Every structure is written in structure tokens, then in C-alpha cells.
């Protein structure tokens, strides 16, 4: 089923993608590669350094891990709030308004699709701007927690210089032993970012909603994902089961290249902008 992985120019790639996807509507699955042009690094890109994300088991099982995470997240949040949608996000929003794209499933937690004006968007792995209590399940605003953490750790963020930003609103910090963590304001329970960690399952209703989006579409476009984790890969497999065309736009190989109708090894922003231009009347 697969075609040769192509590395054409953006305009030529867009024309080939339009040919494969047809008139639409197309469902889109995005990964970290679409947000690198916004200054958010990915986990598995060709030039990405090795990264070991914290697991759910580590977070819930060890107070020291939680303290270390929240200290890193407190710094990383500053960077995330400064990021803006890039041309790839904006082009997808334009394609949605034109009816060529029906909906977006994103593996990212950066909320940049929403900021670009896309709707509907399924945040498969959660959102960096929300916090959930593991005891009472109350969901609260991350910005409000930032104020509480600042009060508990005055000047902590100002003491950190030239920090490396990691994915998922995280920052690389060496020492965090003096950082104070805030508990749930409602029940005093343990707070966790409303993000699906490694080792944690995506909520079933969210998965079913994403399956329905794929099933309602006439094709699937994957953008900026290596499809390494099953949580995203399953939607490619479902599209193939339904006989839908699948196009993968990603720098480097993916786990589903052998299932795709077309794979394009090209930058996301350039090709998506060319795709939006090609779809204009």
C-alpha cells in the first residue's frame, strides 16, 4: 500500500497530498513536530537529544519526583506561555474553516491549535494549562497554581538562567531540593498536570471521540509524529482498516510508514502552508 517516501519541495508535496487525500473532509493527527517551529522541542525528531520523560508511576509514587517535576514545570510554564502558533497551526485552522479538514486530534499539550483558531480539537494527551487533583479530581487553572507556587518559592524562577526547555511544559533543572510544592486548594490532595504521562492511559471517552473523528473523515493526515507510541498509532491503523487514504508528513521515518498511502519527509509548516494555498479557490 505504501508509496516511496518523498522529499519534494513544499508546493510539489502539497499537490501530491491533495491528490491522495481527495476533497475531504480529512481528519488530522498531529505530534510534536508541528510545534518545533514555535520553539517547543520534540522527543524523537532527527536532531532531538535523548530525553527521558517522567512516568506516571514515578510521579504518584515518590514525593521527591513530584517536587522535582513541579520545580521544572514552574520554570517551563514561562516558556510555554510565550509560545505562539506557527504557520503550520495557522494553515490547519484555515483548512478547517474551508472544510478540507474536519477535525484535529493532537498528541501535544501546548494548546497551540486552539490558539490558532482550530475547532474541533481533541487534546489526546491533555493540556498544559490545567491541573487535576488525584484525590478529589477537581480540575483547576494552571495559571492560578503558578501564583501559589510563586508565593511558596519567591524568586525561584528568577534564579534560573539559560535553562534548556524540554517538551510538555518542562525545563531541565539540576537542583530542586528546596522547592515547595502546593497541594489541592479544595482538599489538600496531590496535584498533577492534566497531562497523560508515560505509563498512564488516555481516558476512554477521549479515545472513542477520536476514533469517531477518524471514522467520519474520508482520509487521515498525520503531521509531525513518529507514531512511536500506541496512543496515536491506533488511529492510523483504524483508518487503514476502513480503507481510508493515509498521508504522513514528518521529518524522518515513522512506525507507520508501511501503512501509509503517501509519506513525505518535509517540514510541517512549509508544506501545510502550501497545502492551504493549494486548497484555496
> pLDDT (tens digit, 9 = 90+) per residue, 159-172?
665 555 555 555 55
Query: Mean pLDDT across the chain, nearest whole number?
Result: 89
Q: Select which of 89, 113, 125, 128 is catalytic.
A: 125
> What pLDDT, on the 0 to 100 scale, is given for residue 116?
98
Distance CA 49, CA 170 (A): 15
pLDDT per residue as tens digits for the range 35-77: 999 988 766 555 545 556 778 999 999 998 899 889 888 888 8
Q: Would you kindly state where each structural domain of the chain is located, as residue ranges?
A: 1-40+85-125+202-281, 49-82+128-195
Coil, strand, or helix at residue 105? strand
Segment (H or E) for 262:
strand 262-264
Segment (H or E) for 92:
helix 87-97
The region, left, alpha or beta by phi > 0 then psi within -120 to 50, assigned to residue 215 is alpha
Q: Verify whether residue 79 is a known catalytic residue.
A: no
Q: Was 99 annotated as part of a binding site?
A: no
Letter string b/e over residues 227-255, b meaning 16 or more CB atoms within 10 A of that residue's CB: bebebbbbbbebbbeeebbbbbbbbeebb
Among candidate residues 1, 18, 11, 6, the one with its CA nearest the CA of residue 221: 18
* Residues facing 133 on adjacent strands: 191
Coil, strand, or helix at residue 146? helix
User: 49-82+128-195, what's its fold?
Assistant: SIR2/SIRT2 'Small Domain' (3.30.1600)
Distance CA 199, CA 182 (A): 24
Classify domain 1-40+85-125+202-281 at the CATH superfamily level: TPP-binding domain (3.40.50.1220)
Q: Was 37 annotated as part of a binding site?
A: yes
Q: Was 120 annotated as part of a binding site?
A: no
Q: Was 35 annotated as part of a binding site?
A: yes
Q: Was 31 annotated as part of a binding site?
A: yes
pLDDT per residue as tens digits for the range 194-217: 999 988 999 999 999 999 999 999
DSSP tag of 50: P
> What pLDDT, on the 0 to 100 scale, is given for residue 3?
46
> What pLDDT, on the 0 to 100 scale, is given for residue 177?
78
Give the rounded percent of residues in the chain with a pLDDT score beyond 70: 87
Coil, strand, or helix at residue 133? strand
Q: Was 47 annotated as part of a binding site?
A: yes
**pTM of the predicted model as reported, rounded to 2 decimal places:** 0.90
Question: What is the grid cell recorded at 48?
Answer: 532531538
The region, left, alpha or beta by phi > 0 then psi within -120 to 50, assigned to residue 107 is alpha
Distance CA 71, CA 180 (A): 8
| φ, ψ at 23 (rounded to 5°) | -75, -20
Among candidate residues 122, 120, 142, the one with its CA nearest the CA of residue 130: 142
Q: Was 55 annotated as part of a binding site?
A: no
Amino acid at each position: 500500500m505504501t508509496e516511496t517516501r518523498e522529499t519534494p519541495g513544499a508546493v510539489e508535496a502539497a499537490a501530491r497530498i491533495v491528490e491522495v487525500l481527495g476533497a475531504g473532509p480529512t481528519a488530522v493527527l498531529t505530534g510534536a513536530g508541528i510545534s518545533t517551529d514555535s520553539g517547543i522541542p520534540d522527543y524523537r525528531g532527527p536532531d532531538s537529544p535523548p530525553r527521558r520523560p517522567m512516568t506516571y508511576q514515578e510521579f504518584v509514587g515518590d514525593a521527591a519526583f513530584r517536587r522535582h517535576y513541579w520545580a521544572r514545570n514552574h520554570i517551563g510554564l514561562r516558556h510555554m506561555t510565550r509560545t505562539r502558533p506557527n504557520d503550520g497551526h495557522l494553515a490547519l485552522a484555515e483548512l478547517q474553516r474551508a472544510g478540507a479538514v474536519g477535525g484535529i486530534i493532537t498528541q501535544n499539550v501546548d494548546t497551540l491549535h486552539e490558539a490558532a483558531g482550530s475547532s474541533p480539537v481533541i487534546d489526546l494527551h491533555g493540556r498544559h494549562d490545567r491541573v487535576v487533583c488525584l484525590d478529589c479530581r477537581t480540575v483547576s487553572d494552571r495559571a492560578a497554581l503558578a501564583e501559589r507556587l510563586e508565593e511558596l518559592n519567591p524568586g525561584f524562577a528568577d534564579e534560573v538562567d539559560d535553562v534548556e526547555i524540554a517538551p510538555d511544559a518542562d525545563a531541565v533543572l539540576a537542583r530542586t531540593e528546596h522547592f515547595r510544592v502546593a497541594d489541592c486548594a479544595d482538599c489538600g490532595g496531590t496535584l498533577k498536570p492534566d497531562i497523560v504521562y508515560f505509563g498512564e492511559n488516555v481516558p476512554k471517552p477521549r479515545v472513542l471521540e477520536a476514533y469517531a473523528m477518524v471514522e467520519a473523515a474520508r482520509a487521515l493526515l498525520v503531521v509531525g509524529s513518529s507514531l512511536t507510541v500506541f496512543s496515536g498509532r491506533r488511529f492510523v491503523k483504524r483508518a487503514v482498516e476502513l480503507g481510508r487514504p493515509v498521508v504522513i508528513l514528518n521529518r524522518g521515518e515513522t512506525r507507520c510508514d508501511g501503512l501509509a498511502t503517501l509519506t513525505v519527509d518535509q517540514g510541517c509548516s512549509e508544506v501545510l502552508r502550501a497545502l492551504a494555498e493549494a486548497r484555496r479557490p
